[in-house]
Amino acid sequence: MNTGIIDIIEKVTEIFKTFLKRGDYRQTPERFAILKEIYHKDSHFTIEELYEDMLNKKFRISRATVYNTIKLLLKSNLVVKHQFDDNSAHFEKTFKTKQHGHMICTICKKVIEFQDTELYHIQKGVEKNFGFEVHSTTLTFYGLCKDCLKN
Amino acid sequence: MNTGIIDIIEKVTEIFKTFLKRGDYRQTPERFAILKEIYHKDSHFTIEELYEDMLNKKFRISRATVYNTIKLLLKSNLVVKHQFDDNSAHFEKTFKTKQHGHMICTICKKVIEFQDTELYHIQKGVEKNFGFEVHSTTLTFYGLCKDCLKN
DNA sequence: TTACCTGCAAAGGGTTTGCAGAGTC
DNA sequence: GACTCTGCAAACCCTTTGCAGGTAA
């Protein structure tokens, strides 16, 4: 499992390097450190969580740099952004990650992921019908989870 | 067409009245005026847009009341909230409105709606598989619209 | 009459911006 | 060496909150 993660991080680092070169962006240690941290995570995160995780690992960094780098990662499609129904944006890595949706419990705020193949068909449908080119997708169901339904 | 709107507004006003009574909320003129304004709209709106529209119609109201009333309308399911990729929340009426998704062009910011029947199947699927009870849904595709693809 | 609701203004929280110093190319 | 990037802090915008006066029940 660990070797898998290392391989993936190597790969996305390459992709990011290429992206930076092409866009005339500089290759700073902060940018690679943030990418690495994100790809070590298994789940969603907010900017604040990412920022604190890096501080905890004694990596000296500022919020502004995290915001700046996330923008580049979004542009390079290595990360996607989700705006759930709270005030802060949530992010996820994309490389080697399957397309999925989210269920959010409006009581306990839990976020549950689910895989779906039909989603892909819907996407193909709108691309065909509207001449729209889809870059990223957010499917979110809000409601009550199993545990909260019991109460 | 106009009679259709009037009928619908009468109907949702009744629904809202019942909701307010049941929840021991007061029936204030502001609340009904906001509901009416929303159901006169054809499309998405932000709090700020709604607020300004009401001011333009010489209805004296405050932002705080708009925020407060929107919460009640969400609770009564007469309005849904969408968090697109900008900072402000977007809202829509729900009554007599079909389930649909949104495509958002990341360049021109245009929001295009599309109907989809498959979405309902996905919803049924997660309800069955996860014991989750879905109350509302947001499906959003981000990408490039036909017009922006030309350039 | 008794809460609750409204309007106003200030506070709060996430994100962006401006600027000086550091680091990439 | 030029110019971008970083870190810090202040500014910004949307939303929430506190309080005094008004209003529905």
Residue-level pLDDT at A1: 52
Best mutation site among B138, B140, B145, B147 for testing chain A: the one with the most A CBs within 10 Å? B138
B88 in reach of chain A (CB within 8 A): no
CA angle B135, B139, B143 (to 5 degrees): 165
A42 touches chain B (CB under 8 A): no
Please tell me which residue lies nearest to nucleotide D23, judged from CA to C1': B28
Domains of chain A by residue range: 3-93, 101-150
Over residues A41-97, the pLDDT tens digits come to: 998 999 999 999 999 999 999 999 999 999 999 999 999 999 998 889 999 999 988
Q: Tell me the nt nearest to B67, Cα to C1'.
A: D15
Mutant choice from B123, B142, B151 vs A, greatest count of A C-beta within 10 A: B142
Contact B137 A134 (CB under 8 A): no
Q: Do A144 and B123 touch (CB under 8 A)?
A: no
Is the domain defined by A101-150 classed in CATH 3.30.1490.190? Answer: yes
Dump pLDDT digits (tens) for B8-58: 999 999 999 999 999 999 999 999 999 999 999 998 999 999 999 999 999
| Mean pLDDT value of segment A32-37 | 98
Total residues found in chain A within this entry = 151
Percent of chain B with pLDDT over 70: 98
**Residues paired with residue A100 on neighbouring β-strands, in sequence order:** A115
Say if B103 is an interface residue toward chain A (CB within 8 Å).
yes
B99 CA, C4 C1': Å apart: 35
Residue in A116, A125, A140 nearest the CB of B138 = A140
Give me the long-range contacts of A88-94 (CB less than 8 A, separation at least 24): A88/A46, A88/A47, A88/A48, A89/A46, A89/A47, A90/A44, A90/A45, A90/A46, A91/A38, A91/A44, A91/A45, A91/A46, A91/A47, A91/A50, A92/A43, A92/A44, A92/A45, A93/A12, A93/A38, A93/A39, A93/A41
Contacts of residue A140, defined as CB under 8 A and 6 or more positions apart, other chains included, come to A82, A84, A101, A102, A103, A104, B137, B138, B139
Q: Which residues 87-106 in chain B have a CB closer than 7 A to strand C?
A: 87
CATH of A3-93, one of 2.30.42.10, 1.10.10.10, 3.10.129.10, 2.60.120.650: 1.10.10.10
CA A35 / C1′ C6 distance in Å: 48
Percent of chain A with pLDDT over 90: 84
Q: Is the pTM of this model over 0.75?
A: yes
Going by C-beta distance under 8 Å and a sequence separation of 6 or more, which residues neighbour residue A48?
A: A88
Q: H-helix or E-strand containing B118?
A: helix B118-130
The predicted model gives B63-76 an average pLDDT of: 98
Q: CA-CA distance, B15 to B2, in Å (whole number)?
A: 20
* Range 43-82, chain B: CB under 7 Å to any strand C atom: 60-65, 68-69
Residue B60: phi and psi, rounded to 5, are: -80, 120
Chain A nearest-CA residue for B131: A146
